[in-house]
A and B are shown apart, each in its own frame.
Chain A
Amino acid sequence: MTKVQLDVLPHLDALLRFARTLTGDDGDADELVQEALARALAFRRSYDPGRPLLAWLLAILRNTFATGEARRRAEIRRNRALAALADRFEPAAQEDRVDLNKTTAAFDALPLEQAEALHLVGLLGFTYRDAAELLDVPIGTVMSRLNRGRAALRAHLEPGGRAAQHRLRIVGGRDGSS
């Protein structure tokens, strides 16, 4: 029988990074994690030891964000990031690596739904199913958000948006609904 993992501290960095993706600010990220941990303590009986602790904590973090003041500030930051990105956009030169600062700027400007889907699947390695469960949306919606998020990043970060209009003979695609 698998030993139940109840260590919170090893997940703290992951919580802070996800909170940073949600809020777009280090200070707000820390405050959000604090509040989420307090909620988790209050609702600790709702935790099912048979399920991954990180997913439970991330869900609480996300709910805390959705109902808190940090969300309004994050929305303002996202709009500013998007405006700044449009103002200073210069097509990148052909490079093997993508500039980290530009990556951060492009990611911070993504709509929240796309950013959190990319964070869960692309950075934390969640499966589509697990991400869909945490985000409380169908798997198809997760995939749509990932696809649109990647397209937006390519448009901003790849030379001439080359990859954004890749020359593949694409079959299908999605309508982008979420």
Chain B
Amino acid sequence: MSEMEGGIVKKFLYVNRKAPYGTVYAQESLEVVLIGAAFEQDVSLAFIDDGVYQLAKGQDTKALGVKNFSPTYRALEDYDVTKLFVEKESLEVRGLSADDMVVPVTIMGAQEMAEYMNGQDVILSF
């Protein structure tokens, strides 16, 4: 945590562990990230376990009849949310790689991710 002229700046980590569409958590957590961006905190997003599916390329929800929110991850950069970390092990067991992600991400091993998580001030997990 640090004090800036505008007030307190905390390290916020959003932990995403759920796949999209099966439940609403991924979509509504992205809404929190977008609103939260206005608060000028030190934000990062972690994608672990089925959460990595949120970023999978090729999502097409037309036949399902719900909104495809995966393009929104590409808009995060405009909100100055640029720290997107994807757990290496989670990708591997799902047969995915960085090339399969809709946005540029940083791949991080679980051990490194655990260290990173440890250094946060606020963790929001969905």
The answer on A and B forming one complex is: no
Interface set of B (CB-CB < 8 Å, partner A): none
